[in-house]
């Protein structure tokens, strides 16, 4: 993948009165990458997207696209196109007219225009539906028209504002795969706004996790999931067990933590780590803990008692109380070996991988 930067956001703030929707945010998005802005509602992700599109103006700071500063450039003269959350399909036009809406201004000539519309429709698997009226489309088809309409303009950046949130679960999962495939086929930089962590993890090259108008972490899906910088990010990206720990040693990029159950653990020190007394938090994902059956043993294990059990079909969620831990641990175990039959109250031993233990800034 080329490492050339496509979007530079530098120290952008957007305030509405006293409220800061975006607070001194800086970010670089690379050419050709699938980038996600992930966060709960009100975290500023949509505001940022709308400022890149030109529908909103930064109170301070600047945005540039492909080296061009965007200050004062209106939405209709930016090399970006957007897929709206509501799709915003023009209801008085048919599919074809919707798709070539933006092409009309380019005066390409009838043949070239037709060729590009056909191409865009085939990219989103809508070939043959060109004459269909906008009001006769299903939710999934409307989504595809919105995509084709934006792609046909061959933008440098495609902006997607929660494009899958209106679809049902099956269709949403199918579209995740298709969107990813489409992005790789056209090679355009995609910026996706979403509050769904699985969507972001499944589709993105990199993710920026945002809270309260600030970016908490920018990294690949795997790194964000496995090495979250703080408890907030860790918690937003799926389940996480938080264990109170004591800092024994802290030097440069690593630190040694002591916990009653896991003993002394050496971990990477997160970038955002700010020492606050002797305390710290150690996190481990529920699926990184493994039930030890019968007489099997492991170099790293803790023992406790099952206090609750939740059945989810392919997996079972066990809640396990361990002496010395302030909170019970959550464990996710596949049902291959009968985790769904472990009775509540039974003693249990868990194995863990010390590499899966991650130090978290509070």
For another protein, the binding residues (CB under 8 A) are: 53-55, 74-77, 80-82, 84-92, 101-102, 105-106, 134-135, 139, 142, 149-150, 153, 166
306-311 CB contacts, 8 Å cutoff, 24+ apart: 306/342, 306/343, 306/344, 306/345, 306/346, 306/347, 306/348, 307/344, 307/345, 308/344, 309/340, 309/342, 309/344, 311/340
- Report the residue number, 63 or 322, with the smaller CB distance to another protein: 63
CA angle 304, 307, 310 (to 5 degrees): 120
Closest CA to 225 of 255, 197, 192, 199: 197
Whose Cβ is closer to another protein: residue 76's or residue 251's?
Answer: 76
Classified as helix, coil or strand, 266 is strand
CB of 143 to another protein, least distance (A): 11
- Write down the least CB distance from residue 4 to another protein, Å: 24
* Strand blocks (E) in 56-149: 60-65, 68-69, 80-83
CB 346 within 8 A of CB 306: yes
Distance CA(190)–CA(207), nearest Å, equals: 12
Q: Which is nearer to another protein, 91 or 252 (CB)?
A: 91
For the CB of residue 298, give the shortest distance to another protein in the complex, in Å.
52
State the nearest-atom distance from the C-beta of 237 to another protein, in Å.
Answer: 29
Residue among 64, 70, 56, 73 nearest 31 (CA): 64
- The radius of gyration of the chain's CA atoms, rounded to the nearest angstrom, is 24
Indicate the residue among 80 and 204 with the shorter CB distance to another protein. 80
> Which residues have C-beta within 8 Å of that of residue 212, sequence separation ≥ 6?
23, 42, 43, 44
Tell me the closest approach of the beta carbon of residue 86 to another protein, in angstroms. 5
Shortest Cβ distance from residue 203 to another protein (Å)?
A: 22
Residue 194 or residue 232: which is nearer to another protein going by CB?
A: 194
| Contacts of residue 307, Cβ cutoff 8 Å, sequence gap at least 6 | 319, 320, 321, 328, 344, 345
In the complex, minimum distance from the CB of residue 108 to another protein, in angstroms, rounded to a whole number: 13
Distance CA 5, CA 33 (A): 10
Q: Which is nearer to another protein, 101 or 300 (CB)?
A: 101
- Least Å from the CB of residue 283 to another protein: 39
Smallest distance from another protein to CB 192, Å = 16
Strand stretches in 204-278, DSSP E = 206-211, 214-219, 241-251, 254-259, 263-268
- Are 319 and 308 in contact, with CB atoms under 8 Å apart? yes
Exposed/middle/buried for residue 171 (C-beta within 10 Å: 0-12, 13-18, 19+): middle
Which residue, 149 or 285, has its beta carbon nearer to another protein? 149
Residue for token pair 């249990």: 348
> 94 or 332, CB closer to another protein?
94
Rounded to whole angstroms, the Cα distance separating 344 from 362 reads 32
Nearer to another protein, 48 or 339 (CB): 48
């Amino acid at each position: 993948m080329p490492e050339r930067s496509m979007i530079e956001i530098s120290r952008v703030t957007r305030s509405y009165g006293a409220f800061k929707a975006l607070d001194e945010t800086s970010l670089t998005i690379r050419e050709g990458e699938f980038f996600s802005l992930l966060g709960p509602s009100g975290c500023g992700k949509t505001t940022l997207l709308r400022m890149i599109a030109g529908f909103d103006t930064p109170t301070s700071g600047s945005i540039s696209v492909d080296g061009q500063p965007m200050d004062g450039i209106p939405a209709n003269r930016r090399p970006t196109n957007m897929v709206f959350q509501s799709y915003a399909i023009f209801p008085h036009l048919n599919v074809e007219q919707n798709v070539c809406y933006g092409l009309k201004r380019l005066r390409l000539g009838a043949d070239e225009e037709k060729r590009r519309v056909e191409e865009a429709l085939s990219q989103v698997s809508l070939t043959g539906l060109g004459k269909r009226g906008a009001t006769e489309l299903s939710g999934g088809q409307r989504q595809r028209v919105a995509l084709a309409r934006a792609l046909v303009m061959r933008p440098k950046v495609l902006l997607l504002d929660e494009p899958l949130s209106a679809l049902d679960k099956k269709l949403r999962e199918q579209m995740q795969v298709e969107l990813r495939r489409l992005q790789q086929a056209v090679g355009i930089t995609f910026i996706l706004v979403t509050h769904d962590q699985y969507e972001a993890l499944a589709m993105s090259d990199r993710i920026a996790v945002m809270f309260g108008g600030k970016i908490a972490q920018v990294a690949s899906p795997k790194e964000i999931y496995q090495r979250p910088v703080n408890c907030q990010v860790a918690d937003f990206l799926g389940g996480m067990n938080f264990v109170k720990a004591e800092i024994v040693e802290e030097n440069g990029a690593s630190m040694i933590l002591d916990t009653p159950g896991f003993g002394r653990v050496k971990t990477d020190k997160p970038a955002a780590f700010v020492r606050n007394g002797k305390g710290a938090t150690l996190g481990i994902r529920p699926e990184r803990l493994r039930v030890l059956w019968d007489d099997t043993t492991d170099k790293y294990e803790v023992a406790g008692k099952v206090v609750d059990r939740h059945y989810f079909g392919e997996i079972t969620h066990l809640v396990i109380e361990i002496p010395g831990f302030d909170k019970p641990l959550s464990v996710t175990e596949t049902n291959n070996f009968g985790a769904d039959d472990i009775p509540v109250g039974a003693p249990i031993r868990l194995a863990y991988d010390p590499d899966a233990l991650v130090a978290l800034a509070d």
